[in-house]
Amino acid sequence: MRLKVKNFNWLAGRPVVVLHSQTAKRLNVFQNDRVCLENKHKFYAVVDIFPKLVKEDEIGLSEEVTQAFSAKTGNRLDVYAAEMSQAAQIIKSKISGKELTEKEIGVVIEQIVKNNLTEAEIAYFLAAQKIQGMTIQESVFLTRAMVKTGMKLKFSSNNIVDKHCIGGIAGNRTTPIIVSICATAGLKIPKTSSRAITSASGTADVIETIANVELKSDEIENIVNKVNGCLVWGGGLMLSPSDDKIIQVERLLNLDIESQLLASIMSKKIAADSKKILIDIPYGRGAKIATLNESKKLGHKFEKIAKEFGMKILVVYTDGQQPIGNGIGPVLEMLDILKVLKNDIDAPKDLKEKSLFLSSKLLELGGIKDSDRKAKEILESGEAYKKFKEIINVQNRHKDFDKRIKSLKLAKYTKIIVANRTGKIISIDNKNINMVCRILGSPELSSVGVYLHKHIGKISKGDKLLTFYAESKLKLEEAQKYIKKNTVILTT
């Protein structure tokens, strides 16, 4: 069918065309189906049906289609229902249990980056990985494809280090402390982090409470060369861009998929030019991985992928049976970080100890001797705090660190949950406490979340256990309803 172009000057987030309902009927396409546009060359786009925006002989083009296809208002295009794409056929074969080749995985990732796959198709790709699994070779292919379709940072040093935790532990905001310690010690650590997927907040969400985290690649290279480290969101950099599109769907489905996790982490590290990587795999009740044996199986897979790309890697296995730190939610976690860096007397002991442990391992990986003593000395001397302040000021292009810190505010509505009897906390469920935070509105609302007053150990009747922070009373009520039906703190 030949239709007249009508350009819309808005971005849809992916290539979208708008059709009249009668036109869609004649083409035999429905909402979110794909059509093929042809005028010297072919282009595919997703259908949106909206009769009030276009006439029966028109096709509306989103800005993405206009830019890619170079079609102007009044031009005529041949439009017809698209056949099943090659990428969709590959996804279908994976659902059936086929092991994919490097070329096939490359096609899928390339089409994701080009916005040529719908959210439903990406969801099927993720579901196929979840149900059928992926071999280690497929994970290598997936990692390589994700790196290939994005940009790369480049540093002159061969001693670029990085760390990553597989996630799932509430709080656990060790990264800003580790970056500050390692950068002070002279290592270069370009830390690109994600936003929350299934947790209450990600490192990028937390740092964003006081700093600009959306920087360009050349800005990051300059910052790291100047102050040895950065704390930025990887999503805006086009480093492994398919990963961020996949994460959006994972967040919708609340899924954690091993093969995707492996490729996601490793592709980001490779794209950031990291040569030496520390991987933190927490395990235990309430963590993503329940046992040490399972976590070691995952660790071996990281090691195999790192070997394929000539990277030096160290995997550590840490206690994941409860949250790390007291605050859970962007501002609450930032307040914990500041307490540790400033060596406050009430700083969370577990957050400090884990940050020092991981820092010493990364320093050792970077070739620094007596790493345990060095990490502790840098933190307790206040040098790490100075470096953190320096990194934040450079990212903000202003010396406004103190002003930003003073602006941190917690939500105005609170609810304190107390122990109804004397006993002992035997576990704190990370998944459920993260869910409570999300019910309260985290990470979209940085001021909300949960403060954890007690960790595993003895408690007395009337002790404070949790404080909820919310921007509305309704959210507080919803959180209380959730903890009545789901065990957040298990006691005896």
Amino acid identity for residue 236 in this structure: G
Read off φ and ψ for residue 251, nearest 5 degrees. Answer: -65, -40
Other Cβ atoms closer than 10 A to 469: 28
Amino acid identity for residue 381 in this structure: S
Whose tokens are 């002003």? That residue is: 403
Read off φ and ψ for residue 389, nearest 5 degrees. Answer: -60, -40
Give the distance, in angstroms, between the CA of residue 216 and the centroid of all CA atoms in the same chain.
18
Partners of 43 in the β-ladder: 37
Rounded Cα distance, 140 and 267, in Å? 10
Q: Kindly tell me the sign of the dihedral angle through the C-alpha atoms of 254, 256, 259, 261.
A: positive
Structure-token pair, residue 216: 């360009």
Active site includes 256?
A: yes
Q: Is the peptide bond before 323 cis (omega within 30 degrees of 0)?
A: no
Rounded Cα distance, 14 and 249, in Å? 14
Q: Which member of 33, 48, 256, 463 is catalytic?
A: 256
Give the chain as a 3 state SS string.
CEEEEEECCCCCCCCEEEECHHHHHHHCCCCCCEEEEEECEEEEEEEEECCCCCCCCEEEECHHHHHHHCCCCCCEEEEEECCCCHHHHHHHHHHCCCCCCHHHHHHHHHHHHCCCCCHHHHHHHHHHHHHHCCCHHHHHHHHHHHHHCCCCCCCCCCCEEEEEECCCCCECCCHHHHHHHHHHCCCEEEEEECCCCCCCCCHHHHHCCCCCCCCCHHHHHHHHHHHCEEEEEHHHCCCCHHHHHHHHHHHHHCCCCHHHHHHHHHHHHHHCCCCEEEEEEEECCCCCECCHHHHHHHHHHHHHHHHHCCCEEEEEEEECCCCECCEECHHHHHHHHHHHHCCCCCCCHHHHHHHHHHHHHHHHHCCCCCHHHHHHHHHHCCHHHHHHHHHHHHHHCCCCHHHHHHCCCCCCEEEEEECCCCEEEEEECHHHHHHHHHHHCCCCCCCCEEEECCCCEEECCCCEEEEEEECCHHHHHHHHHHHHHCCCEEEC
Active site residues: 256
